[in-house]
Chains A and B, each alone.
Chain A
Amino acid sequence: MMELPDNIKAIIINRLRGAISPEEAITLEEWQRQHAVGDEVLDHYDKIWAESSNTVNQPHFDTAKGWQRVDQRLKDIGVIETREIHTVGLRRYWGIAAAAAAAVVIMIAGYWMFFQQSEQQQITWSKVVTADATNKYLRLPDSTLVLLRKGATITYSAGFGQSDRLLTLTGDAFFDVAAHENIPFRIQTEKAVIKVLGTSFVVNSTAGADRVVVVTGKILFTDKARPENKCIVSAREQVSFTGDNFEKKNVNDSNYLAWQTGTLRFTNAPLKEVVKELSAYYGTVVNVNDTLKTGSVKVTASFREQPLNEVLEEITVITGLHFRKQQDTVIIY
């Protein structure tokens, strides 16, 4: 048989798929007439196409057994019973977020102690959840998963999930937001409003600045005081907001969840970034002496649930610097 023109190939394939348009059918008939190609040729292709589906789809794998395993695994990791299990579940989210690039995971982190005073004014909020003794998981009415850092509080109204999903947060939290396209998900902090644009992020509200780390997808970050002041942050980006301006950059180490994992990891990270993470994790302000030209000092280290003192010692050993405590702050010099 002669080599067919591309458009005829495409039409024949569309025909096999049952997706041939009336115009295409006419073109095909025309071509068949011109080249004296009988219907039996097309029939033969039909047969190969139809039979091949049965051929390749022959059952070789045990679907029932496979389902049992998946069902069990989901029960193990999905049902929120103990912290241990949660940690596993949570770690998973990050890996997946990276892979699927569209998972909805949000984390909000910061110095919870700075916001505790602002609780009283929330008269219309009806539901208040606080993580008192330990980090705490909960599920919101819209099936969004929240992990609150010890000391953090969220409040939301009784009508949450009906026409709006608005909550306020003080402290640190991680959100895995359920997808409901028509009902926006927003989080208020003291300074800002964070709107989920179908994806995932991390907010870090320290005394001086809010920091949002987006894990996957996008968020809209808006200054509460000046709503025209806003920016969109995409996956693997973070934005810092001091109340005046935004500073956007890429995310390298994923320490924003350190308060849950207990692990801080730095890979060739500038010392300035390292002290920021330490400040957020330990709730103690750690500064680098400004007169030092520390721009070139990079730290590669990882710490697991170690006291701040040990961490500082290790860092100073690595960098050849020193540290001292001055009231509530630590200065590296």
Chain B
Amino acid sequence: MREDGLYQQFRLGFEKFYNPLCIYANSFVKEPSVCEDIVQEVFIRIWETRKDLVQSDNLRFYLFTAVRNNCLTHLSKEQRMTVYSLSDIDLEDDDTADITPSADETLNYQALLGQGIEQLPPKCKEVFLLCRLGELSNQQAADSLGISVKTVNNQLWKALKMLRAFVKNTGMGLLFFL
């Protein structure tokens, strides 16, 4: 059956994106179980209403955008956190922050990088996560977040620059082995 084949594809999509989507959701919503609920709900909706997306190139774009929106809706319902919305303007002017590693840790490269990512400014982190978790193109990320491609580029660049500095400062010793 055609439908069975499609369902198999749907399942593969789930297996590929479930973890990244939950992690993405977790960057907005603190409770992991809520994140899982949100992601599961998004998949259920796709199967119910947009089966055509399963085979589409736009699946990942749709998934990440839907998860983000659902997280923000959840947060605004809970009213436990201020929901900020990204805009091109306020993304341009938070360029001053610097991230510094906590001193005395011996970290492997990935853990070090993870720490650096954690410390990125929130909006910068969001753009970076979306691009790295979802492997979205700049255009897709821009559409998903409702900002310009240029801003996505700037934020990505900022993240890279900060991470590079972070890794350099902390991981000097480490880098020699890599």
Contact = CB atoms under 8 A, between A and B. Distances in A.
Contact of B163 (A52, A60, A78): A52
Contact of A56 (B44, B129, B157): B129
Chain B CB within 10 Å, residue with most, of A6, A71, A92, A93: A71
Interface stretch (A8-16, A227-235, A325-333): A8-16
Given A56-B117, A93-B49, A45 B164 contact: yes
A61 B22 contact: yes
Contacts of A10: 153
Say which size band chain B's interface belongs to. Answer: 35 or more
B137 A92 contact: no
Interface in B106-160: 109-111, 113-114, 117, 128-129, 132-133, 135, 137-138, 150, 153-154, 156-157, 160
The majority secondary structure among interface residues of chain A is helix
Given A57-B19, A60-B19, A74-B47, A9 B157 contact: yes
A314 B14 CA distance: 50
A52 to B, nearest CB: 5
Interface stretch (B35-43, B78-86, B96-104): B35-43
A49 B160 CA distance: 8
A19 B111 CA distance: 28
A55 B114 CA distance: 6
B18 interface: yes
Interface in A127-165: 143
Contact of B45 (A61, A63, A71, A96): A96
Contact of A61 (B32, B133, B163): B32
B19 A13 contact: no
Say which size band chain A's interface belongs to. Answer: 35 or more
B110 A78 contact: no
A66 B129 contact: no
A63 B14 contact: yes
Interface string B9-37: 00100110011101100100000100110
B117 A55 contact: yes
A53 B36 CA distance: 20
A102 B35 CA distance: 24
Interface string A86-119: 0001001100110110111100000000000000
A45 to B, nearest CB: 6
A48 B48 contact: no
Given A51-B110, A60-B32, A61-B32, A12 B157 contact: yes
Nearest to A53: B132
Contacts of A71: 11
A322 interface: no
A63 B40 CA distance: 10
Contact of B113 (A51, A97, A178): A51
A249 interface: no
A48 B49 contact: no
Contact of A13 (B3, B11, B52, B157): B157
A226 interface: no
Contact of A60 (B23, B44, B137): B23
Contacts of B51: 178-179
A143 B36 CA distance: 29
A56 B49 contact: no
B113 to A, nearest CB: 5
Nearest to B138: A13
Contact of B50 (A19, A77, A100): A100
A156 B107 CA distance: 68
A173 to B, nearest CB: 18
Which 3 A-B pairs give the minimum distances between C-beta atoms? Answer: A103-B49, A61-B22, A179-B52
Interface of B: 3, 11, 14-15, 18-20, 22-23, 26, 32, 35-36, 39-40, 43-45, 47-52, 66, 109-111, 113-114, 117, 128-129, 132-133, 135, 137-138, 150, 153-154, 156-157, 160-161, 163-164, 167, 178
8 contacts: A13-B156, A58-B114, A67-B11, A67-B15, A74-B47, A92-B48, A103-B50, A105-B49
Given A58-B23, A67-B18, A69-B40, 17 more contacts: A9-B157, A19-B137, A52-B113, A54-B110, A55-B114, A57-B23, A57-B132, A61-B19, A61-B23, A66-B39, A73-B40, A74-B48, A77-B48, A92-B48, A99-B45, A102-B49, A179-B52
